[in-house]
Amino acid sequence: MSKINEQIERLRELVRKCYSAVASKNGTIPNVGERTVSNLGAAIESIPSVDDWDVVVNVAPSNMNGFLSKKNNIKSFQLKDNTSTDVSNLLYLNKTIERLDIPKIFPNATRASYFMSGAINLQSHVDVKFPVATDVSGFNDLHNVPSIRLVAPNAYYSTNMSYASNATSIYVECGTYNGNFKISNAYKAKLITIKGYFTTFNGMFSNDSSLETAYIPDLSNVTNIDYCFSFCSKLVNLYIDGRMPNISLSNLFTKTCDALSRDSLMRVIDALPTTTNGYTLGLGATNIAKLTNEEIAVATAKGWTIA
């Protein structure tokens, strides 16, 4: 009996390796119950071929506005043409789309608003560039994408990029954002990079509870930064490409950011402008204890209260 059990365990291990091998190639074996030999056949039979797409567009029209918006019977989409000028609402509120193969750059797209907003079941990496589009809103509620990379240097407006709940890394490069842009509730994101010009930054990383490293741009012109890092309890490394704003920073690191490294704290202090307004930089007792009196004096000499 023990030899039979050994054989069964060996087969189980082989099945586990099969699942791992498929997963390593970004394939998926659907769950058909417990992952054992007995149902392996059923599982393999139900594997979709990666070459099968529900919708394939070889030559796209100029106007793709709303092409698969709310088309909730579509699970996969391949777009081979990147010449469209309007890709607004392309996947807006498409709640069934899982796999996506689209160009990495849309050189002619001037309109890209609500691009894939609410594609809650999308499981493909999002990596897209809009060199000329001015509105690239629509990357919110991508609950199941493993990563997001958005480059839109001409963009001036966006709605939020919140609830990328399973993304482990997010990269955003944009022009001027005056909208209510946020990357909050990215619960598994360990690395977030933001480049661009912002006037509001409040709640930007709120509830990004796995965030370890954040790169942020110059914030000189930001008028609201309240609760920017709320609940970023694992944030260690913070890099600032420029200056902090001359506004209250009293609740920048609330609830709490006690993992911040001393170097990160000093980068914040070094980026402070001189203020005559009596503003406060709220670090909390744990972070203050990482600094020497001389390092704290760098901030107070610029008119800031450290609290």
Partner 1 sequence: MIELITTKKQTPSVADNWLYKDENEIRVFRKLVFLPESKPAWAECTTAEKEQWEAEHPEPVMDKAMEEQQ
Angle value at C-alpha 213, between 209 and 218, nearest 5 degrees: 110
* Least distance to partner 1, CB of residue 226, Å: 7
Concatenate the DSSP letters of all residues of 42-104 into one string: HHHHTPPPTT--SEEESS--SB-TTTTTT-TT--EEEE-----SB-TTTTTT--S--EEE--S
Q: Does 256 bind partner 1 (CB under 8 A)?
A: no
Main-chain dihedrals φ then ψ at residue 185, nearest 5 degrees:
60, 30
When binding is defined by CB under 8 A, the residue of 26, 31, 62, 300 that contacts partner 1 is: 300
State whether the Cα torsion 74-76-82-88 is positive or negative: positive
Which amino acid type is present at position 241?
D
Q: Does 206 bind partner 1 (CB under 8 A)?
A: yes
Angle value at C-alpha 207, between 183 and 184, nearest 5 degrees: 15
When binding is defined by CB under 8 A, the residue of 118, 138, 196, 203 that contacts partner 1 is: 203
The footprint of partner 1 on this chain (CB under 8 A) covers a number of residues equal to 36
Q: Does 285 bind partner 1 (CB under 8 A)?
A: yes
Task: Please say which residue, 56 or 297, places its beta carbon nearer to partner 1.
Answer: 297
* Least distance to partner 1, CB of residue 203, Å: 4
Q: Does 297 bind partner 1 (CB under 8 A)?
A: yes
Concatenate the DSSP letters of all residues of 20-46 into one string: HHHHHTT--PPP-SS-SGGGHHHHHHT
* Least distance to partner 1, CB of residue 305, Å: 5
* Least distance to partner 1, CB of residue 27, Å: 34
Main-chain dihedrals φ then ψ at residue 16, nearest 5 degrees:
-60, -40
Task: Please say which residue, 115 or 304, places its beta carbon nearer to partner 1.
Answer: 304
Contact 88, 111 (CB under 8 A): yes
Task: Select from 20-28, 70-78, 104-112, 157-165 the region that touches partner 1 (CB under 8 A).
Answer: 157-165
Task: Please say which residue, 8 or 301, places its beta carbon nearer to partner 1.
Answer: 301
Binders of partner 1 among residues 179 to 198 (CB under 8 A) are 180, 182, 184-185
Q: Does 240 bind partner 1 (CB under 8 A)?
A: no
Task: Please say which residue, 8 or 297, places its beta carbon nearer to partner 1.
Answer: 297
Mapping DSSP to helix (H, G, I), strand (E, B) and coil, where does residue 149 land? strand
Task: Please say which residue, 85 or 117, places its beta carbon nearer to partner 1.
Answer: 117
Task: Please say which residue, 102 or 216, places its beta carbon nearer to partner 1.
Answer: 216
C-alpha dist (Å) from residue 115 to 27, 87, 157, 231 = 25, 7, 13, 29
Distance from C-alpha of 142 to C-alpha of 268, rounded to nearest angstrom: 31
When binding is defined by CB under 8 A, the residue of 199, 213, 251, 261 that contacts partner 1 is: 251
Q: Does 177 bind partner 1 (CB under 8 A)?
A: no
Distance from C-alpha of 300 to C-alpha of 278, rounded to nearest angstrom: 10
Task: Please say which residue, 144 or 250, places its beta carbon nearer to partner 1.
Answer: 250
Q: Does 89 bind partner 1 (CB under 8 A)?
A: no
Q: Using alpha carbons, select from 82, 88, 139, 74 the residue that is nearest to residue 108.
A: 82
> Across the strands, what pairs with 105?
129
Distance from C-alpha of 81 to C-alpha of 106, rounded to nearest angstrom: 9
* Least distance to partner 1, CB of residue 179, Å: 9
Binding site for partner 1 (CB under 8 A): 159-160, 162, 180, 182, 184-185, 202-203, 206-207, 226-227, 230, 247-248, 250-251, 254, 278-280, 282, 285, 288, 293, 296-297, 299-301, 303-307
